[in-house]
Chain A
Amino acid sequence: DADVTQTPRNRITKTGKRIMLECSQTKGHDRMYWYRQDPGLGLRLIYYSFDVKDINKGEISDGYSVSRQAQAKFSLSLESAIPNQTALYFCATSDGGKALQETQYFGPGTRLLVL
């Protein structure tokens, strides 16, 4: 079984709809991240969480919210989806590692299309 799973893998929704993307991990890591990937822009950090009680905004948090339900679960919500939120979304985890030497482990991604 995959260490980092994301559901759904693909989703089509309409402008204005609320949508939730879910991430689960079995790696036992404390740190979890949500990124979006757009062609030519690479991976951009939306939110990150270093433990269940710690939630932080990333580079592009506007229009998104998150919930860390447990160490293993981190959900990303789009309260009112808009077309420019069409992207590939990745969840990642890490154990922190040594200072600056962090390896992040990514899920398979969710492809979201907002019409």
Chain B
Amino acid sequence: QKEVEQDPGPLSVPEGAIVSLNCTYSNSAFQYFMWYRQYSRKGPELLMYTYSSGNKEDGRFTAQVDKSSKYISLFIRDSQPSDSATYLCATAGGYNKLIFGAGTRLAVHP
């Protein structure tokens, strides 16, 4: 079993839709979770992070962690074509090494 599982998609939505991206993780000791965004032909860049359980909001983006079910979510409100990218969830796997999910490819069409 992979330590972080993520559905690779692709996910295609119309502009303005609410997008839900999800990951599951296996190790209950994980406490710090991140979402990276990767545009085509670019390296990933940190979008948001959240610690332990709860929500964190940044503009149209909300990161949520449910430790009881080991579930990580990223919600995008009022999605825009510029949000089209691959979104990777990640967690700190100890000693400052990150463990990444496979990434979900999102396409927002006008």
Contact = CB atoms under 8 A, between A and B. Distances in A.
B45 interface: yes
Contacts of A106: 43-45
Contacts, number: 55
A103 B97 contact: no
Taking residues whose C-beta sits less than 8 angstroms from the other chain, chain A's interface range is: 20 to 34
Interface residues of B, number: 22
B99 to A, nearest CB: 8
Contacts of B45: 105-106
A31 B100 contact: no
Given A43-B44, A90-B44, A109-B41, A100 B102 contact: no
Contacts of A105: 45
A107 B103 CA distance: 17
B97 A108 contact: no
Contact of B102 (A41, A97, A102): A41
A42 B92 contact: no
Contact of B41 (A96, A104, A107, A108): A108
A106 B41 CA distance: 12
B96 A94 contact: yes
A21 to B, nearest CB: 14
Nearest to A91: B43
A48 interface: yes
Contacts of B92: 100-102
9 contacts: A42-B101, A45-B97, A50-B96, A94-B96, A100-B31, A100-B32, A102-B92, A108-B41, A109-B41
Interface of B: 6, 8, 31-32, 34, 41-46, 49, 51, 88, 92, 96-98, 100-103
